[in-house]
């Protein structure tokens, strides 16, 4: 029973450290790509580790929704209800529908880093479980082994 509690504590500690590093990497990517108009996206990160009764560990990482739009290079323009014939359309858009003033450009601060960090978390967890398995087997072995021929 104590090994199970020790494993859960180790998993939770590993998950907390992984979340801290992941948020730091996301914020470093945003600074490098100069995604800090107001600083609200940088400050919007919230992280939490949730342990369940079944022994499964859940990680929760949240941030402002518009961060995904910055990553994809979309969302800078008019509201969804503005149509081609409405007032203000010609002021902001060309006849082909492109924005006159802003050029949308994807700034990949999220997608590549998330893929890498998810893979890294899987590696860390498997390494943790492997180490615990080896130590459990080593503890179960007898201190001395006699071999008679």
- This prediction has a pTM of 0.66
What are 100-125's pLDDT values in tens digits? 665 667 788 888 888 888 888 888 88
Confidence of residue 129 (pLDDT cuts 50, 70, 90): confident
Q: Give the C-alpha separation, 87 to 68, whole Å.
A: 29
What are the phi and psi torsion angles at 97 (to 5°)?
95, 0
**Strand spans (E) along 9-62:** 46-51, 57-62
> What's the pLDDT at 89?
66
More confident residue, 52 or 65: 65
- Give the H or E element holding residue 105: none
Q: Is the pLDDT of residue 60 over 80?
A: yes
> Half-sphere exposure of 85 toward its Cβ, with a 13 Å CA cutoff?
0
Q: In DSSP terms, which residues pair with 57 in a beta bridge?
A: 51
């Amino acid at each position: 029973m104590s090994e199970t509690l020790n494993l859960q504590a180790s998993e939770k500690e590993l998950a907390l450290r992984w979340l801290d590093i992941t948020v730091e990497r996301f914020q470093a990517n945003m600074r490098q790509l100069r995604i800090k108009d107001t600083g609200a996206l940088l400050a919007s990160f919230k992280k939490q580790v949730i342990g369940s009764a079944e022994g499964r560990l859940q990680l929760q990482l949240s941030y402002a929704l518009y961060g995904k739009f910055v990553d994809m290079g979309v969302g800078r323009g008019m509201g969804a209800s503005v149509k081609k014939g409405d007032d203000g359309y010609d002021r902001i858009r060309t006849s082909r529908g492109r924005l006159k003033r802003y050029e949308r450009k994807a700034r990949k601060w999220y997608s590549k880093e998330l893929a890498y960090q998810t893979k890294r978390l899987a590696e860390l967890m498997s390494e943790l479980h492997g180490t615990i398995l080896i130590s459990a087997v080593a503890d179960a072995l007898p201190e001395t082994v006699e071999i008679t021929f």
